[in-house]
Structure 1
Amino acid sequence: MKVLAACTLVPILCFAFQDLGSKYGGMDWLTYDYTAWALMIAPVLMLVLFIRNRELIRNPRTGATFSQTIKIVAGMYGLWNIIGAIGYSWLAVISVLSSLAILVGDRQMKKRASA
């Protein structure tokens, strides 16, 4: 859960520091590129975390919180990366596919576990 929290919070904190640092701190090196890359890397790291913790998804008693949290974050980052793929870089498509893999994989694992 700590790694999932880090993957969730780091891009959000990058947005906050970019906004505050560029407006009030006079830090010109804090650009939106700095934030966009953190936003594109997080879903890929979450996919690795999802694959490594498949057993948590299959067992609803121990992994309900993990499953619910990773789905919410994957959906949120999937939406932001769709916008990023349109407006920033086509490399965000990799992050969108990672988010979709998490959302679809979670549903498939739960169906197989209940059957």
Structure 2
Amino acid sequence: MKYLAVFTLAPIFCFAFQDLGSKYGGMDWLTYEYAAWPMMIGPVLMLLLFIKYRELIRDPRKGANFSQVVKMVSFLFLIPNVFAALGYSWLAWISVLSILTILVADRQLKKQARA
């Protein structure tokens, strides 16, 4: 859960520091790329974490919170990454596909666990 928190909060903090630093701090070097790249890298790292701990999703007694948190964070990152893919960089499609993989695989793992 620590890694998931880092992968979630790092892009959010980057957006906050970028906005405050460029607006009030006079730091012109803080561009939107400073915040966009962590937002695009976070879902890929979450997918790797999801693959590593997929047995937590199969056993709902041990990993119910992990599954719910991963799905919530994936939905949180889905909209900004779609906009980034459309307007900023085609590399954001990798993040979008990672998010969709997490959402679909979570459902499939839960179905397999019930069967």
Fold agreement, TM-score > 0.5: yes
Equivalent position of 1:52 in the other structure: 52
Q: Where do 5+ consecutive residues of structure 1 fail to align?
A: none
Runs of 4+ aligned residues of structure 1 deviating over 6 Å after TM superposition are none
Partner of 2:20: 20
Name the TM-score, length of structure 2 as normaliser. 0.98
1:78, 1:24 → 2: CA distance? 29
Cα displacement (A) at 1:38: 0.5
Shift of residue 79 of structure 1?
Answer: 1.5
CA distance in 1, matches of 2:64, 2:80: 25
Q: What's 1:11 paired with?
A: 11
Q: Percent identity?
A: 68
TM-score, reference length from structure 1: 0.98
Q: Which amino acid aligns with 2:5?
A: A
Aligned to 1:106: 106
SS in structure 2 at match of 1:85: helix
**What runs of 5+ residues in structure 2 fail to find an aligned partner?**
none
Give the superposed CA RMSD: 0.5
Rounded Cα–Cα distance in structure 2 between residues aligned with 1:8 and 1:76? 9
